[in-house]
């Protein structure tokens, strides 16, 4: 599946025909029976289903699009294995899918409750779209049993201030043509807490200034524009990187355009490259469990340090682009949980 410039057809694993379930469904929509009996996207209305699915994906940001495509393929594969067509699936099928996601297989471990719930929500969104398009009459995930997610708990690792400084130092001590780019990118992730998808999609034009303050405008989830302050150290790192990049291109820094963080070929860095960079820096910095240090761990580190330094909940929520303050509070509570454990009070009383 690819949606870039032109619309292409989305493919899921071939789906089994299930005439018995189709007939018993008593679908009022004349096309529903034909769709349910179709092999994959083929059949009288198969093209409509394929086009609707492609349109549903095309409306998403690239990273969301890729994730939703994986989610839908996983659901299609699950249904195919059970001999159930995606358009005849019922609530019990959706419930079993949620359970299977967390149970895993011998070949792949199960997902966390958060990841399983997100995958189910993505597939539910697809069904809602089909219903809205008149291509289906029900959403089997509407009342499905979703994994219970603890909003006060985050399994993501984070770094303390000393470890975060060591990551920055490791980036600045690097060698090679990407040293300045990598150092600027790491400062942006740690000092502003931007998501890896936002780092990869940033453009040079996103840099600016407001009332004498250097800024960068980030495109958050849902296309939301968030203007963020650039601390002097982050601005200096970006200036050094862009000056070096401009010198190699034989132009002035102000003439640069395109992706803010680019490869030698000029394309934007991708998520995989950022993940590998962060892990490499964690190893170089000598951090314990470097494989647990991810771009999201750097975002969590930003939230944790901001909380420990007294950041206001509303300010932190705005900075991180959270629509729900409970998401921000989850970071805060994770940071304070051990320090505020009542066990300390009881131990002090009992000696």
Q: Is 249 helix (H, G, I), strand (E, B) or coil?
A: helix
Q: Is 25 helix (H, G, I), strand (E, B) or coil?
A: helix
Of the listed 29, 73, 296, 329, which one is catalytic? 296
Per DSSP bridges, beta strands 207-210 and 213-219 are: antiparallel
Separation of CA 185 from chain center: 18
Active site residue 322: yes
Active site residue 195: yes
Using alpha carbons, select from 212, 210, 260 the residue that is nearest to residue 238: 260
Alpha carbon distance 13, 189 (integer Å): 38
DSSP result, 143-190? T--PPP--TT--------HHHHHHHHHHHHT--STTHHHHHHHHHHHH
First-residue to last-residue Cα distance in the chain: 63
Alpha carbon distance 88, 26 (integer Å): 11
Using alpha carbons, select from 115, 108, 55, 43 the residue that is nearest to residue 77: 108
DSSP result, 308-349? HTT--HHHHHHHHT-SSHHHHHHHHHHHHTTTT-THHHHHHH
Of the listed 29, 221, 271, 280, which one is catalytic? 221
Alpha carbon distance 206, 209 (integer Å): 10
Active site residue 296: yes
Alpha carbon distance 334, 135 (integer Å): 44
Active site residue 331: yes
Alpha carbon distance 172, 315 (integer Å): 29
Helices (H), the chain: 19-25, 30-37, 46-58, 62-82, 91-103, 113-132, 161-172, 179-192, 196-201, 232-249, 271-284, 295-308, 313-320, 325-336, 343-350
Of the listed 118, 187, 195, 219, which one is catalytic? 195
* Residue linked to tokens 């895993």: 104
Q: Where in the sequence numbering do the catalytic residues fall?
A: 195, 221, 296, 299, 322, 331
């Amino acid at each position: 599946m690819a949606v870039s410039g032109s619309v292409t057809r989305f493919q899921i694993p071939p789906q089994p025909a299930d005439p018995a379930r189709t007939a018993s469904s008593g679908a009022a929509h004349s096309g529903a029976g034909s769709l349910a009996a179709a092999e994959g996207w083929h059949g009288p209305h198969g093209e409509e289903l394929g086009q609707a699915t492609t349109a549903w994906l095309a409306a998403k940001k690239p990273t969301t699009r890729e994730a939703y495509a994986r989610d839908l393929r996983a659901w299609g594969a699950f249904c195919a294995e059970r001999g159930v067509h995606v358009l005849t699936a019922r609530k019990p099928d959706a419930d079993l899918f949620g359970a299977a996601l967390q149970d895993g297989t011998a070949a792949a471990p199960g997902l966390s409750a958060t990841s399983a719930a997100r995958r189910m929500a993505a597939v539910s969104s697809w069904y809602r779209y089909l219903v809205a398009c008149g291509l289906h009459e029900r959403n089997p995930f509407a009342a499905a049993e979703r994994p219970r997610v603890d909003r006060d708990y985050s399994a993501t690792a984070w770094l303390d201030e000393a470890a975060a400084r060591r990551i920055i130092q490791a980036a600045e001590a690097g060698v090679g043509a990407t040293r300045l780019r990598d150092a600027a990118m790491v400062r942006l992730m740690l000092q502003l807490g931007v998501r890896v998808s936002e780092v990869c999609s940033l453009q040079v034009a996103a840099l600016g200034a407001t009332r004498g303050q250097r800024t960068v405008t980030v495109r958050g989830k849902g296309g939301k524009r968030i203007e963020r302050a650039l601390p002097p150290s982050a601005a200096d790192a970006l200036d050094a990187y862009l000056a070096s990049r401009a010198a190699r291109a034989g132009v002035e820094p102000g003439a640069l355009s395109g992706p803010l963080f680019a490869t030698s070929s000029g394309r934007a860095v991708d998520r995989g490259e950022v993940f590998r960079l962060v892990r490499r820096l964690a190893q170089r910095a000598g951090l314990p469990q470097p494989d647990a240090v991810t771009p999201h761990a750097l975002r969590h580190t930003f939230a944790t340090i901001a909380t420990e330094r007294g950041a206001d909940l509303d300010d932190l929520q705005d900075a991180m682009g959270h629509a729900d303050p409970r998401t921000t509070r989850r970071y805060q509570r994770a940071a304070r949980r051990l320090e505020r454990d009542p066990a300390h009070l009881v131990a002090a009383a009992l000696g």
